[in-house]
């Protein structure tokens, strides 16, 4: 069942308005990513987990998974984030 659900994700994303195609990571790629983050002392938090930032969870486009490192309790405090790009365009993408 999970395999079939993952197989239809690219089509669902396109029908939902995604501008570029998505690629579902292989199990090996996901494991390599998780192991690499663990070596740096980090972990992944999924939307809905207790430590996931509550204010981030309230936005419509909240990421389903975030990589974190450090003191997780800080994620529950008010904060400001500035996101930028070295090659920004007028349309907001490089």
Domain boundaries along the sequence of the chain: 25-81
> What stretch of H or E contains 86?
none
Give the pLDDT score at 93.
52
Give the pLDDT score at 76.
86
Give the pLDDT score at 84.
65
Give the pLDDT score at 3.
75
Give the residue from 85, 33, 38, 77 showing the smallest Cα distance to 56.
Answer: 77
DSSP secondary-structure letter at 17?
A: T
CB contact burial 18-43 (16+ within 10 A = b; e otherwise): eeeeeeeeeeeeeeeeeeeeeeeeee
Query: How many Å apart are CA 66 and CA 58, to the nearest integer?
Result: 15
pLDDT tens figures, 46-76? 999 999 998 889 988 888 999 999 998 888 8
pLDDT tens figures, 77-90? 888 877 666 666 66
pTM for this predicted structure: 0.62
């Amino acid at each position: 069942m999970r395999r079939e659900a993952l197989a239809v994700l690219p089509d669902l994303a396109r029908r939902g308005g995604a501008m570029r195609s998505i690629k579902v990571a292989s199990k090996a790629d996901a494991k390599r990513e998780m192991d690499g983050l663990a070596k740096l002392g980090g972990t992944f938090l999924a939307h809905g987990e207790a430590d996931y930032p509550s204010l981030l969870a309230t936005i419509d486009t909240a990421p389903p998974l975030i990589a974190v490192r450090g003191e997780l309790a800080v994620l529950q405090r008010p904060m400001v984030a500035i996101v930028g790009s070295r090659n920004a365009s007028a349309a907001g993408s490089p």
